[in-house]
Structure 1
Amino acid sequence: MTPDAPWLIAGLGNPGPWFRLTRHNAGFLAVDRLAERHGARFRRSGLAGLTAEIGIDGHRVLLAKPLWWSINLSGRPVAALLRRHGVPVERLVVVQDDLDFPFGSARLKRGGGPGGHNGVRSVGEVLGTRDFVRLRFGIGRPPKGRSVGDFVLKKFSEEELAVMPGELDRCADALETLVRRGLNRAQDTLNARTDA
């Protein structure tokens, strides 16, 4: 990997305005926040989805919202963007919602299983590797008696939306630190703030 290789930060979500504030679209919301910070706008990038380009301390960073019918088929557009922009898999970051963490909690890690997230599974299967970084944004578990499928496709509650800007800022901070200073430093920063 060359030192000046670009980064790709891909937020996972479902296409269409109805899904915009649903829990399964936390990945889209996080990359939206990062784009806003840097004054970047998303534009259509062929069949691969929407992309925006930013710079972080001299590093070229491509932000993406893959659009391929469903979040569960995110692998093909992510792979297409990696090829098109010459991004090594070591500099791919996938931002996802995660049922295993309470709302507002977030974790960064490299590799590991998809944990039941079909979009992450699709990326790993298409790329033939899980050696990419994931930012996992906690959305909590559904209330008793409510299905997971129904829960992730419902909008965040009013209480959650009220604090969402701060939670997304924490994620954006972590992603910027990852690019600037590496995974270990970004993990320390994010995990310390999450546990506080």
Structure 2
Amino acid sequence: MTQPWLVVGLGNPGPAYAATRHNVGAMVVAELCRRAGETLSSARGLRAETARTRISDAGLGMPAAQAVPVVLMRSRTYMNDSGVAVRKVADFDRIPVGRIIVVHDEIDLDLGRIRIKAGGGDNGHNGLRSMRSHLRSGDFLRVRVGVGRPPGRQDPADYVLKKFAAGERAEADLQVSLAADAVECLMTQGLGAAQNRFNS
């Protein structure tokens, strides 16, 4: 059997953070769950919410002979400790670092842009820093979802904890859907095809 995928949507837990820029990764995982017809539920002892499905060329959650298992997750820890939960889930399901896809906000990309890459540093992102520390590797796949840079001299840490402005909601919703498409493409067609299609 082909090794399963682990798709991690970075964010902070709780309704106060649900619609913030920093939680765009968690929004993408919620969209993937919707497509798969699955619901995230607390995974006992793993400090995460997970949903289990499968993917094939027929789509996410569709029955097919060659379907590959997929674990969708978001951490129940705060962003700075994301790696704790990711490591627990990866160990539990025996998923190697190269089969982990992390979806996260990226202030160095404008709203509406997506970039897919394999490996790299954390670029000041505390969720990525925690993952690299706990996994002892940065060689996971990343779907970077642009949220834009803060205006003026606003602190980036404050900016990403703000909700999308009313005029940005439609663009943000479209971007979440496109990022979910990118995750599916990564799993079914590979890194090169996903980059060619989605990197902007």
TM-score (norm 1): 0.93
- Give the Å deviation of 1:163: 2.4
Work out which of the residue numbers 105, 113, 120 in structure 1 matches 2:128: 120
Aligned equivalent of 1:33: 31
- Give the Å deviation of 1:164: 2.4
1:100 equivalenced with 2:108 (yes/no): yes
For 2:93 and 2:53, the matched residues in 1 are separated by: 14
Q: Report the 3-state secondary structure (helix = DSSP H, G, I; strand = E; otherwise coil) of the residue aligned with 1:74.
A: helix
For 2:40 and 2:95, the matched residues in 1 are separated by: 19
- Stretches of structure 1 lacking an aligned partner (at least 5 in a row): none
1:48 equivalenced with 2:47 (yes/no): yes
Aligned equivalent of 2:71: 62
State the Cα RMSD in Å. 1.0
Report the more deviating stretch, 160-169 or 173-182: 160-169
Q: Report the 3-state secondary structure (helix = DSSP H, G, I; strand = E; otherwise coil) of the residue aligned with 1:124.
A: helix
- Give the Å deviation of 1:48: 2.0
Aligned equivalent of 1:182: 190
- Give the Å deviation of 1:165: 2.5
TM-score (norm 2): 0.91
Residue identity matched to 1:187:
Q
1:162 equivalenced with 2:170 (yes/no): yes
Deviations 1:113-147 (A, max 9, x none): 11110110110011111110011101111010211
1:144 equivalenced with 2:152 (yes/no): yes
1:85 equivalenced with 2:93 (yes/no): yes
Q: Report the 3-state secondary structure (helix = DSSP H, G, I; strand = E; otherwise coil) of the residue aligned with 2:30.
A: helix
Work out which of the residue numbers 21, 24, 32 in structure 1 matches 2:22: 24
Percent identity over paired residues: 40
- Give the Å deviation of 1:167: 1.2
For 1:36 and 1:42, the matched residues in 2 are separated by: 10
1:74 equivalenced with 2:72 (yes/no): no
Deviations 1:8-52 (A, max 9, x none): 000000011010000100110011111111111100012421111
Q: Report the 3-state secondary structure (helix = DSSP H, G, I; strand = E; otherwise coil) of the residue aligned with 1:41.
A: coil
For 2:173 and 2:68, the matched residues in 1 are separated by: 25
Q: After the TM superposition, which parts of structure 1 deviate over 4 Å for at least 4 consecutive aligned residues?
A: none
Residue identity matched to 2:101:
V
- Stretches of structure 2 lacking an aligned partner (at least 5 in a row): 57-66
- Give the Å deviation of 1:71: 0.4
Q: Report the 3-state secondary structure (helix = DSSP H, G, I; strand = E; otherwise coil) of the residue aligned with 2:123.
A: coil
For 1:51 and 1:146, the matched residues in 2 are separated by: 34
Residue identity matched to 1:16:
G
Count of aligned residue pairs for this structure pair: 189
Alpha-carbon contact 2:115-2:144 (below 8 Å) kept: yes
For 1:97 and 1:127, the matched residues in 2 are separated by: 20
Q: Report the 3-state secondary structure (helix = DSSP H, G, I; strand = E; otherwise coil) of the residue aligned with 2:149.
A: coil
